Every structure is written in C-alpha cells, then in structure tokens.
Amino acid sequence: MEKTTEPEVQQEPWERIEEILEETSGTSAELRDFLDELAPGETARALSRLDEGAQTEVLTALEPEHAAEIIEEMSDAQAADLLEDLSPQQAATIVDELPSNEQADILNELDKADAQAILEHMTPQDAEDARALMQYPEDSAGGIMITEFLAFDAGLTVEDVLQDLRQNSENYSDYAIQYAYVTEKDRLAGVLPLRDLLLSRPRRVLRDLMIAEPLFFRAETPLDELRYFFGEHAFLGVPTVDMDAHLIGVVLRSDVEEAAAEEANENFLKVSGIGNEELRSMPLLTRSRGRLSWLSINIVLNILAASVIAFFQDTLQEVIALAVFLPIISDMSGCSGNQAVAVSMRELTLGLVKPYEFLRVFLKEVSIGIINGASLGILIGIVAFIWKGNAWLSLVIGSAMMLNTILAVCLGGVIPLVLKSFNSDPALASGPILTTVTDMFGFFFVLGFASLMLPRLVG
C-alpha cells in the first residue's frame, strides 16, 4: 500500500523571518537574502505582523543601507513607528541612508523630541538638509524636493566637472542624475544636460554650454501646480529655488506622482472619517480614539436629522408608506451631492477653481441638479404610483426627490469651496455637513408635502 504524504503547509513570510532570527542569532546575510526574495509590498506586510521586539531585531540585524531600503517601502507612519523603537544612534544610521525628502517626511511623523534625538546623531550634512526640508509644507515643492543633485559654478570648465565626477563617483552613485545645474554665486543660472557635458571639449566653460534661463519652481509652489506642470511637460526633474533664487533642490516627476497619490489616499481616508493615517499595527486605543472622534460628531448630526421625523411623526403614522421612501430619497440625494463634492475637490486640487468662485460653481450645479432631480423624481414617482396607485403620493415623493437632489448637488459643489476659503479641510468636513443637510431637507420635503396633502393621501 502506497504511503500518502500530506501537502506541505506554506510558511508565511513573517513566520520565516522569526525562524531566521532564531537560527542565525541576528546575523544579516540570510535575512537580507530572504527579504530580497519577497515581492514588492510583502516586506512591509511581513514586518507589520511581527511583534515590536522582532521588528527591532530585523532592522538592527541588517546593514543600515538595506534597512533603509525596507523603510522606503513603508508608509511614513509605519516607518516612524519602527524607528521609534530603536535607539537614536541606530535610527540615525538608517535615516542617513534615505533620500533627503524621505528623511524629512519620516522625521516629521515622529515626536519632536524623538526627531531631534535622531538628528543629533545623523551626519552633519544630512541633518542640516533634513532640518531645512522639514520647514516646508509636505505638499509643496520644498517638501517634495531632493537635495542630492549636481551643481557647478558657471566659470568651471568641462574638464573640471569631469574630474569632480571621477573623484566623487561613489558619493554621486545614488543621485538621480539627468542634468547638472549651473550656478553663479549659488543662484541658478542654467541647466546642463550630461550628454552635452560628455561630448564637449575639455576647456569649454560651463557658462557657454548651459541652457540659460531654465524653468524652475519656487520652494513654496503647491502640489497641484507641480502636478499640472509635469502633466504639461516631459521633464524628469525641475530645479527648485528659494526667495533669493538660490538653488536648493530638485523636484522629481516620480516624487510628485507619489505625493499626489498619497494626497488622494489621505482625502479618501478623511472622507471615510479617518482624519489621520491608521494602520492595524497601531495601538488599539489609538485607533479607537481616532475613529470615535468622527463617529461622535456624526451621531449628533444624525440626531438633528432624526428630529425632523419626530416633528412630523403624526403624518408618518397616518401614511406609513412614506417611511419606505424616506431612506431612498435621503440616500439618492446624498449620492448626488457626493458626486458634486468629488468634482469640486478635484478642481480645487488641480487649481481649476478658486474658493471664491462658489457662485459660478453653484450656477453650474443648479443646471445639472434640475436635470438629474427631475429624472430621479419622475422615476421614483412612477414607482410610488405603481405600488399604491395614489397620484398624490407619487407627486409628494417625486417632488421631494427632485428638490432634494437640486439642493444636494448645489451644496455639494459649494461646501468644499466655502470650507477651503475658511482654511478648513474640505475633505474631512464636506461629507458630514452634506449628509446632515440632505437628510434633514429630504425628510422635511417628504413629510412637509405629505402634511399639506394629508387628506388626499389617506382618503
């Protein structure tokens, strides 16, 4: 009789990491090889399943440059949590290996005391660059730019530059190099494609080779302008200057795309009621507190909406069929309003509309609200008539749907602009305000119209 062998249970990545840590007593070679074999994104997932002690052991077992590669794969919040569990000296050796913009982003996620302790143990130049970048908003050119770039004085010759490249080849190996930048008294004077540099005569001066008056960003340029610029131009990177035109960094297309994706994700979380980034590896009470702060406000707003039903409870008791249509009108109007919110948020992000243009947005939304409101009102009115055979009920439900849809799309278009003009976050606040208003007015329209026509509805 043949022996049957049970299929081998596949080992999860984090289980294998724990096994390696036990077997190798903290040596890095086998651990590094295993992590290199994991698919993109799997490293962050695997580390999140380990306890804090094992996470720390992984980072300390690896060489700083390899630990930095792992940190780069993670969200800033998760990376900051991991670094907090290390000593400032250990964390500094890893942060030193990160690109300058990543250094600033992660340090900004830490408590000020922890960030300062790490900065004190970083190499002086990296610490200086990180401190400078941390002063800029994360959604600006200054917050996104890198400080690893090639810049040479306009008076140098091609031979001078080539000699510098040869002597510092190891330092420049991690730079995203496509262009060299030419400066005069540290001010941006021009851009020099490396191809032109390599093919030019050794004694030619950079001033004669450079592309004068190059395009550039100011450090305070917002993300939406950066995104629009790279959408219109095929550049891989653009120099960034301060108020005095001093060259301070380079904004890369890839970093702008990543920042835009992160902003979209943050807006989605805010609309969902999660104001700050949440990971399930975070402490339970921290996660609960973050969600409750939103839910507590929402329950108050919902009580306000429910109070409209309480006010018309006698009408609702007389025509119980109205209860069937209340959630339909509320939900459909909410959906229509959220479409308008999404369009306004998108146009604000792209810079296509300014917060003070709420009247223009309102008039645009009125038109679509009338068309969609009438269409939805007719549809729901037909349903009401088929179900109950009462034309007056059909009129009440259809009219309420139409008016509430018009109101919802108008408010949905305008609310983000009004909030933005008051420096409030439209992504976080638009949703609950819109939901409460459309619920209240939806209930009011249905029950108010029904109260006026009550004899015809119950007759």
Residue 447, both tokens: 């029950």
Cβ neighbours of 68 (radius 10 Å): 21
Contact 125, 168 (CB under 8 A): no
Q: What is the pLDDT of residue 48?
A: 80
One digit per residue, the tens of pLDDT, for the chain of length 459 reads 445 554 455 678 888 888 888 876 656 788 888 888 887 678 878 888 888 888 888 888 888 988 998 888 888 888 888 898 899 999 999 999 998 888 998 999 898 899 999 999 999 988 998 998 899 988 899 999 988 889 999 999 999 999 998 998 878 877 767 788 999 988 999 999 888 888 899 999 999 999 888 899 999 999 888 988 998 888 889 999 999 899 999 999 989 998 888 777 666 666 655 556 656 666 677 667 767 766 777 788 778 888 888 899 989 888 989 999 999 998 898 889 889 988 888 788 767 788 889 899 999 999 999 999 999 999 999 999 999 999 999 999 999 999 999 999 999 999 989 888 887 777 666 777 888 888 899 999 999 999 999 988 886
Q: Which amino acid is at 9?
A: V
Q: How far apart are CA 426 and CA 149, in angstroms?
A: 36
Helix, strand, coil distribution of the chain in percent, nearest 5: 65, 10, 25
User: From residue 446, how far is each of 183, 310, 321, 402 by CA, in Å?
Assistant: 69, 13, 11, 11
Q: How far apart are CA 112 and CA 457, in angstroms?
A: 65
> What is the phi/psi pair of residue 4, to 5°?
-100, 135
Which CATH number describes the domain made up of 13-135? 1.25.60.10
Q: How far apart are CA 239 and CA 213, in angstroms?
A: 12
Chain position carrying tokens 């839910």: 295
Parts of the chain belonging to CATH 1.25.60.10? 13-135
Q: What is the pLDDT of residue 305?
A: 81
Q: What is the pLDDT of residue 32?
A: 84
Which of 1.10.8.60, 3.90.1640.10, 3.40.50.360, 3.10.580.10 is the CATH number of 151-271? 3.10.580.10
According to DSSP, residue 211 is labeled: E
Parts of the chain belonging to CATH 3.10.580.10? 151-271
Cβ neighbours of 201 (radius 10 Å): 9
Which CATH number describes the domain made up of 284-458? 1.10.357.20
Cβ neighbours of 391 (radius 10 Å): 12
Torsion of CA 46, 48, 51, 54, to 10 degrees: 50
Q: What is the pLDDT of residue 54?
A: 86
Parts of the chain belonging to CATH 1.10.357.20? 284-458
Residue 125, both tokens: 């130049």
